[in-house]
Structure 1
């Protein structure tokens, strides 16, 4: 707490002043947390002085609150590129990040607990943002982006949290997620210069080579990079009380369709907490993405059957908590994608489920399982929508990779297992099967004609995105996740 107060005073966060008439000070409190390393050991005890921002009034105490954070896909894409190019990866942490943001609004806060002097009626006039304020994250990002751009970095239009600098053959990329910074590039001198520049503007901690970032564990070798969330998965298993449970081979029973027929759960908070944690685990686990997506449909009214399926996912994690994605160093950096759909797979809405996965060379960098917005009248229509959604992701990834110095001039391959869809997409003829489809879905036709994408047929047995649209049996599921690049370096050989 004393360390936090010293940081606040050194940063000139506030000044003591009498409260002006008509002004109401907001409160504050202390929040404590124990920070752990990836192996579970205690790194340090941390204390935050947090403003009670829930008492702020919009238009009076703040205007805008939105602040961009790095997309997880951008993180995976940066890691895959670093593995392919042999770049070093570095991590930095900003101490008291939100305290660097400058406030433009006139905000008063009650003195921190324990510092109010008897008989004094002074309050804190805030000059810098404080944790808990509505606009704190926005002001910090504005401060950081202005500083890093002054050093010659260019902000990416594909992901506003990505900053790149190219000077001759030297290339450096910086990705920021709130107060965690990832730096990579082909020039160690440029990276060292960037670190020195950041140290001169902010109080940072250099964590050295990247090993643990946003709960993701990174292991590097000459063959590539491996990411997993083993520590996080073990915490989920422990909190669910399943440490002694027998592991299972698949996260979901083959052919299972969840509905709302069983009894309601008495304690829905436990279900929401479990599924919420599983959602973040899908950052490195495409093998549980479909099961978690289906479970997340019932967050508002979970039932006993849904909880049983969620616990089955935990039992599946028990079998291989350290499973994750491998990014190979032997990579041609070409994009390819697989798309699929499960026609009318939702028994409640009869809407289809879109699934796609995108590879950069042999490395899986993006995947998604999502229920479509409208009901499709045929399997061809459902697959057509899935194809359009997959290419929208490919388009964004091309922009992102261009900012990272990888330009894709050649056509991108998009694999689909429905021949009717391939003919509909390739032939610009409207007939009874397609005339009711929204015009935005026909976006894929233009891209095929201008050569941006080449659609190809793939047999259903080799359709890798099938794992994102259906619950599969063990004999299909296990080979499929290996083809996706899912591995477990912690398992005995």
Structure 2
């Protein structure tokens, strides 16, 4: 919103916050029905102010700069507060303004992860997962430092806030935290070596339209242990990715169509929630959200109102999606698998395919501003030409 409308983005910090404070007054997030202000009985306004609060960290934006300053001044009179100026660093995420765009990254956080793992000097690799599985007797033995594995996987989850290209690999690593093996730790080290090759990478946000579209995909029976499928989707607002997910399905799907349909239901629910959020932010969508799917059978199932014995076990998901289609709140379109962006969340990919989809997610290296020039260049990392040999486990710390 701020980029599209060229609104200022201010950052505030409350000096002393209490997580368990007691409220003695009723607080209304919206005006209660029937309320009339005695001072402004006929009040209406075109001023929009958005306040984002995370514990004691605050972001403030809106369409009236003078109103923002008045609000900040009023908050100063009530709270012990620091005004940090224009947005630059928030919750471990660096925000770099370049021209009319924002570049979000967690390069310092990623460096700290490598330091924690003792892998600051490891050899980088071009992708987070290998397409070849290692199956040896030693690989199936339990890893001798499970606490280290769990700790590293935990911190990697937060890194996916600006690195959707890591989501599938981290999701896979998360599934073995109860009893990781040497093979699982090798997978984790591969992720860290990819992080080493792309330390400066992040997300680029550009001014764009307010059109919602999502890409949904699944990997049927991909887990060789329990044969559960995985649901994947990513959502774009205009050209900017704003939401993504990689999650194992809770039940076993009996067909690829069923697995795909469950993934479509998850994506549909996310689109519905985002529509409500945008409405609360006074943003009206001029076009119907689009959901792209590469499974023709799942699209046919969404359009066919007839149930039979092979589909009644997923009837709830069917009704949910069909209700959105019938009310014209959602459009379904087919997309070839070669152009399915959500494919990056479903399985290990070749270097060329991974980098192609990574660029579609707008995960790039930071732009470089030339001195005395408004133009920017992108610092490219030739990760595909980097050696792929592993770093030795001896460089890891003895304890977490």
- The bucket for the TM-score relative to the shorter chain is 0.7 to 0.9
Is 2:325 aligned against 1:448? yes
1:221: Cα distance to partner?
A: 2.5
Partner of 1:462: 339
> 5 Å matches for 1:286-301?
286-301=164-179
Partner of 2:96: 219
- Structure 1 stretches of at least 4 aligned residues deviating more than 6 Å after TM superposition: 257-261
Partner of 1:96: 16
Q: Deviations over 1:404-458 (max 9, x none)?
A: 1112253111000000000000111102331121414430011111111110000
- Choose which of 158, 165, 186 in structure 2 pairs with 1:280: 158
1:138: Cα distance to partner?
A: 4.1
Partner of 1:312: 190
- Name the CA distance, whole Å, in 2 between partners of 1:258 and 1:286: 28
Give yes or no for contact 2:211–2:286 (8 Å, CA) kept in 1: no
Give yes or no for contact 1:237–1:318 (8 Å, CA) kept in 2: yes
Question: RMSD in angstroms over aligned alpha carbons?
Answer: 2.2
SS of residue in 2 equivalent to 1:359: strand
SS of residue in 1 equivalent to 2:222: coil
SS of residue in 1 equivalent to 2:171: helix
- Name the CA distance, whole Å, in 1 between partners of 2:330 and 2:214: 10
SS of residue in 1 equivalent to 2:193: helix
Partner of 1:492: 379
1:283: Cα distance to partner?
A: 0.4
SS of residue in 2 equivalent to 1:181: strand
Is 2:222 aligned against 1:345? yes
Partner of 1:362: 239
Bigger Rg over Cα: 1
- Name the CA distance, whole Å, in 1 between partners of 2:14 and 2:300: 53
Partner of 1:262: 140
Q: 1:229 to 1:293 in 2, by over 3 A?
A: same
Q: Deviations over 1:31-81 (max 9, x none)?
A: xxxxxxxxxxxxxxxxxxxxxxxxxxxxxxxxxxxxxxxxxxxxxxxxxx2
Partner of 1:83: 3
- Choose which of 139, 163, 188 in structure 1 pairs with 2:21: 139
- State TM-score, norm by structure 2: 0.85
User: Structure 2: which 5+ runs fail to align?
Assistant: 32-42, 368-377, 381-400
Give yes or no for contact 2:223–2:229 (8 Å, CA) kept in 1: yes
- Choose which of 33, 37, 57 in structure 2 pairs with 1:180: 57
Give yes or no for contact 1:337–1:357 (8 Å, CA) kept in 2: yes
1:328: Cα distance to partner?
A: 0.8
Partner of 2:389: none
Q: 1:255 to 1:174 in 2, by over 3 A?
A: farther
Is 2:314 aligned against 1:437? yes
1:144: Cα distance to partner?
A: 11
- State TM-score, norm by structure 1: 0.69
- Name the CA distance, whole Å, in 1 between partners of 2:25 and 2:189: 42
Q: Which has the higher strand share?
A: 1
